[in-house]
A and B are shown apart, each in its own frame.
Chain A
Amino acid sequence: MKKGSVQLTESILVMFFVLVIIAISLVVFYRFQISSLHNYEDEYRDKQMLSMLMVLPNELGYSFLGKSENAIDTSKLFNPNLDYGFRTIIVEQVYPEFNGAVDCTIVNYPNCNRFVIYDKPSVSLKNTLVESRPVSMYYPLDGKFRAGKLIIKWYY
């Protein structure tokens, strides 16, 4: 009777430890799943950023008689009403090279090389994702194209 009781206690303890091991495994598995979810979220954010880099030159694009000419029209970069959330969007001329960075305004245009199209940083969002791509920049006053870089900073 005493031996049976000891064996029962042993079985209960074994079951208890098995349960603890299973619980720990599940917690570890769940953490892996959460980490995988974060990877998916990062991937989604990256893709949204790349989409924006692809699409933005069309929205700010130079068109001739309504037909898109695959370049950013620099005279269309001064609209103050844009809303892209917590982001900073900059178009910089990289060639021909300019002496120092001169931010463009309607007054000093086209004697400048940096267009801050949109700038809305966030105090609370601590992370920043920065991506850029080369673009062609069109200056309608002299009808010339220059090489530039479109930079997007995304605060999250």
Chain B
Amino acid sequence: MVAELVDYIMSNKILLGISKGVVVGLFIILYASLMVLFLTWVERKVAARIHVRYGPNRTGPYGLLQPLADGAKLIQKEDIIPYAADRLIFTLAPVFAFAFAVLPFAAMPLADGLILADLNVALLYIIALASLSIIPVIMAGWASNNKYSLLGAMRAAALNLSYEIPLVLSIMGVVLVVGSLNVFDIVKYQTEYIFGIIPKWIIILQPLGFFVFFVASIAEMSRIPFDMPESESELIAGFHTEYSGMKFAMLLFAEYIHMVFGSMLAVLLFFGGWHLPGLGYVLSFLENFLSGFAYTVVKWAIQFGVIVAKALAIMFVLMWIRMTLPRARLHSIPTFYWKYLLPLALINLGITAVAVAVVG
């Protein structure tokens, strides 16, 4: 019965598309939301440890239930829309902020063969959707009709314009090395070995590219030292000053999802995705015991776990940076991106092109 249903869905392109969208889509939203809840806890715990404090430790073991308590608090908060605000756009902004934050995940493989939509131009789609995330921020800032909000939104937009070109150009270096815009191909490329021992992760081939990518994606996640949109000592809370309750929560969610997205992209493009030396042996060992479908599920779970673990390591570094560095001055940021990071990205592109042409 179930097998027949699955066969029928697989044979029909529309039904397959819809069911993929629902099943994988819900999984992505669940994953992103849980990750956000977990990250708010991790961030506070890491910050506390670096400050030699305890951090949240009252709700549940190690304070692990703190995010749930925060959620329960936020959902009960009164929803306040200022008189001066544009009510429609004010309400739509958090909706779009959340949607545009999760949509890039659609073209991101979560494991070998597990993807919502396998596009030819996957990488370009991911970049394009990620570039849309600035629109809800400007919407929120403008609709609030608050000086701090609008200033925060304008700064966010200026920052967005500055980081995006170096980000795109550093990703192009990866495309040059692999010769495909499909993220599956990029990860597959990284499962090989150099001299039989060193995994061929692209960070080894593209260290300069990764540096540019990493610095640009810190801005993409709008985190310290580049958190211009909401530098709280200057702008109260930036573009979400006027937001409260669930609308505020959605904007916060979107921001943390950008962090999950950025680190997952870094893992897929530069750190070998789900590849881990020795994992292949474990999987082929498991294949002896498990049959087709069960094996696939276990394999996906393991590979997804590897991606998440690597992503968490990157997120830890991001938190570490946040706790260590001061906020950069507004005036220095666009200058830094245009004058230093962009030429660096162009140089990296040139070097990579020549190297690929010579080595083949």
User: Do A and B come together as binding partners?
Assistant: no
Residues of A within 8 A of B (CB): none
